[in-house]
Chains A and B, each alone.
Chain A
Amino acid sequence: DAGVIQSPRHEVTEMGQEVTLRCKPISGHNSLFWYRQTMMRGLELLIYFNNNVPIDDSGMPEDRFSAKMPNASFSTLKIQPSEPRDSAVYFCASSQLAGGFYEQYFGPGTRLTVT
């Protein structure tokens, strides 16, 4: 089975540009999570969706960040405008809601560098 798919794997952009990260969850999973990881702050939850509905976006740093999940198989995280401090690895993870076990599986991540 295919795991969580993220694209692009690497993104280098200049400050002020718009960045869009994409995620395809594991088929049949109905919860999707966006994380950011840096050396200084570790792994931070940005936002998560259950059944395509945003549940908690309190981790989104500021209004420059937005996320959507238009259907069960696709989500985007957008940063506009990007800043050098947004440089990090962004992970998407998915899990099932049923059963109450909540095991999350991570994608390979997108390494974002903003110059």
Chain B
Amino acid sequence: QKEVEQNSGPLSVPEGAIASLNCTYSDRGSQSFFWYRQYSGKSPELIMSIYSNGDKEDGRFTAQLNKASQYVSLLIRDSQPSDSATYLCAVTVAGANNLFFGTGTRLTVIP
């Protein structure tokens, strides 16, 4: 079983819509959760981190964490074509500071 699972997509949404990206993880001891955005040919860029249950909002981005169900999600409101990228979910496991990455979900925002 992989540590982190993501739907590979592709996920297509029209401009202005809400994009919803989901991620599940296997280690109940995980404490830190991250979303990275990666444009084609570029390196992963940290866009959100979340450490406690509930929602965390930053501009058009909202990260949601539910430790009981072992999932973390990212909502992108008012999606823009510039949001088109691959989104990687990453988590730590108990007792270590390295990240386990999902395979990523490719998002396309259609103008």
Q: Are A104 and B43 in contact (CB under 8 A)?
A: no
A97 at the interface (CB under 8 A from B): yes
Determine if B31 and A100 form an interchain contact, defined as CB atoms under 8 angstroms apart. yes
* CB-based nearest A residue for B99: A104
Cβ contacts A to B, 25 pairs, < 8 Å: A31-B97, A33-B98, A42-B103, A43-B101, A43-B104, A45-B98, A45-B99, A45-B101, A48-B98, A50-B97, A91-B44, A101-B32, A101-B49, A101-B51, A102-B92, A102-B97, A102-B99, A103-B32, A103-B49, A104-B99, A105-B46, A106-B44, A106-B45, A107-B43, A109-B43
Interfacial chain B residues near A101, Cβ < 8 Å? 32, 49, 51
Binding site for B on A (CB under 8 A): 31, 33, 42-43, 45, 48, 50, 55-56, 91, 95, 97, 100-109
CB of B76 within 8 Å of the partner chain: no
A interface secondary structure, majority: strand
In the assembled complex, which residues on chain A have CB atoms less than 8 Å from the CB atom of B36?
Answer: 106
Q: Are A108 and B43 in contact (CB under 8 A)?
A: yes
> Given the complex of chains A and B, what is the CA–CA distance between A43 and B104 in angstroms?
9
Residues of A within 8 A of B42 (CB): 108
Minimum C-beta distance from B19 to chain A (A): 21
Residues of B near A43 (CB, < 8 A) are 44, 88, 101, 104
Q: What residues of chain A lie closer than 8 Å to B99, measured between beta carbons? A: 33, 45, 102, 104
Give complex CA distance A105, B99 in Å: 12
Residues of A within 8 A of B44 (CB): 43, 91, 106
Contact (Cβ within 8 A) B43 A100: no
Q: Assess whether A100 is in contact with B32, with CB atoms less than 8 Å apart.
A: yes
A1 to B7, CA, bound (A): 35
> For residue B43, which residues in chain A have a CB less than 8 angstroms away from its CB?
91, 106-109
How far does the Cβ of A59 sit from chain B's closest Cβ, in whole Å?
A: 9
Contact: B32 with A102, CB < 8 Å? yes
Q: How far is the CB of B67 from chain A (nearest CB, A)?
A: 16
Whole-angstrom CA separation of A47 from B92 in the bound complex = 15
